[in-house]
Structures are given as structure tokens and as C-alpha cells.
Amino acid sequence: MKKALIPIFLVLIIDQTLKFWIKTHLSLQEEISIIDKGFIIHFTENSGMAFGMEFAGRFGKLFLSIFRIIAISVIGWYIFTLIKKKAHSGLIICISLIFAGALGNLIDSAFYGMIFSESSFHVSRFLPAEGGYSSFLHGSVVDMLYFPIFQGHFPSWFPFWGTEEFIFFRPVFNIADSSITIGVILLILFQKKFLKEEPKTEVEAPII
């Protein structure tokens, strides 16, 4: 059980602590340069999926939140099944990272709208007397990690985006997104090792 609980709690604590600090210290679109033009804390919010991708309006947001709840429930059940079957530790940790990331973003969308005030033009207040900026399951996910390492323009001969500006890496994300990504990448890289069945030892029949 520790193999699952430790990564889950570590990710949730780091993710939610950083998000809480961002919400209570920065206003929307405010940023802090950590490494000049390489690593920036840039406060943004999205009502959609990971890495700032949007999903169709208010009903889309509700659908996405409900989908997250169902997905998290299924993943949680799968982790419990893996533990009972004594599956490979690496597999349990990878699925736990995915679970923790999904749960971290669900916490934002489920509760942040109820416990924080709006962040536009001023720093958000925690548990404002007038109530939060939204209702249950309609909160926005907090993103802040921005790595614009390379910036430039596509060459004129490049299809579709010729001469347009590009930034790598453009999406702004959070610890929960990173946890999901790392879990999926490790699962793909080491799936043969993680899913390899233990060799069955043959029991010799007793000689009569």
C-alpha cells in the first residue's frame, strides 16, 4: 500500500501547496522569472484539460469534471487490484502518479471556485465573505510552470506556419499535469518490464 500512498500524497501536497501559494500571492497573468527566458512562474487558469487546453463552455466543464471523477474512481480501483495481485512496484507507482495528477486537478475544478475569490486584476482571497467565484465542479485549474526555452520564427517555406512565431515549450502547466505525464511516459518505456508475468515454478510430481 505504501508504494501507492507515498507518491500520491507527495504529488498532492506539492501540487496543492504551490497552487495555494500562487492563488494567494499573484494575480492572473502575473509572473516571476526564475531563470531568465528559460523558466517562469506564470499564473494562468484554465477551465479545461491538461496543459491549458480548453473544453467547450460551462457544460463542457461540468462534463469534464464528472469524467475526471469517474476516471479517478476507476484508476483507484485498478491500483487496489494491482496491490492485491502484488504487481510490479514500478507499475503501481506509475498508475499512482497518474491517479495523483488527475486528483490534483479535480480538486481545483471541484473546490477552488467555492473557496477563492476571482484572481483577475488582484490577488485572490481565500474563503471570501461574499463567497467564491464559481460553484462546485465549475472552478478553474491553476497552472504556473512555463518553460519558453526556445523562441523564434518558422522559416517561410514551412507548411501552414511559415514566418509565424514559435515558442518551445509554449504550454503552461502544473505539478499535477507533470505527474500524469511522467507516469504515462514511464509506463510506456518500461511496460514490458512492469507487465512481465513472473515465471511459474513447476512442481515435480512425487515418485511413488
Chain segment 163-187, per-residue pLDDT in tens? 887 777 788 999 999 999 999 999 9
Q: Which of 15, 36, 108, 143 is catalytic?
A: 143
Average pLDDT over residues 91-104: 96
Q: Which of 15, 36, 108, 177 is catalytic?
A: 177
Q: Partners of 151 in the beta sheet?
A: 167
Confidence of residue 31 (pLDDT cuts 50, 70, 90): very high
Q: Is 36 annotated in the active site?
A: no
User: What pLDDT does residue 195 have?
Assistant: 81
How many CA atoms are closer than 13 Å to the CA of 36, on its beta-carbon side? 0
Confidence of residue 55 (pLDDT cuts 50, 70, 90): low
User: What pLDDT does residue 198 have?
Assistant: 53
Nearest-angstrom CA–CA distance, 157 and 173: 31
Q: Is 108 annotated in the active site?
A: no
- Residue 206 confidence (pLDDT) above 80: no
Find the DSSP H helices in the chain.
2-25, 57-84, 89-107, 113-115, 175-189, 191-194
User: What pLDDT does residue 77 have?
Assistant: 97
User: What pLDDT does residue 170 have?
Assistant: 80
Cell output for 165: 512565431
User: What pLDDT does residue 56 have?
Assistant: 53
Cell output for 42: 506564470
- Residue 57 confidence (pLDDT) above 80: no
Q: For all residues of the chain together, what is the average pLDDT?
A: 87
pLDDT digits (tens, 9 = 90+) for 62-78: 788 888 899 999 999 99
Cβ–Cβ under 8 Å, residues 44 and 22 = no
Global pTM reads 0.84
- Residue 152 confidence (pLDDT) above 90: no
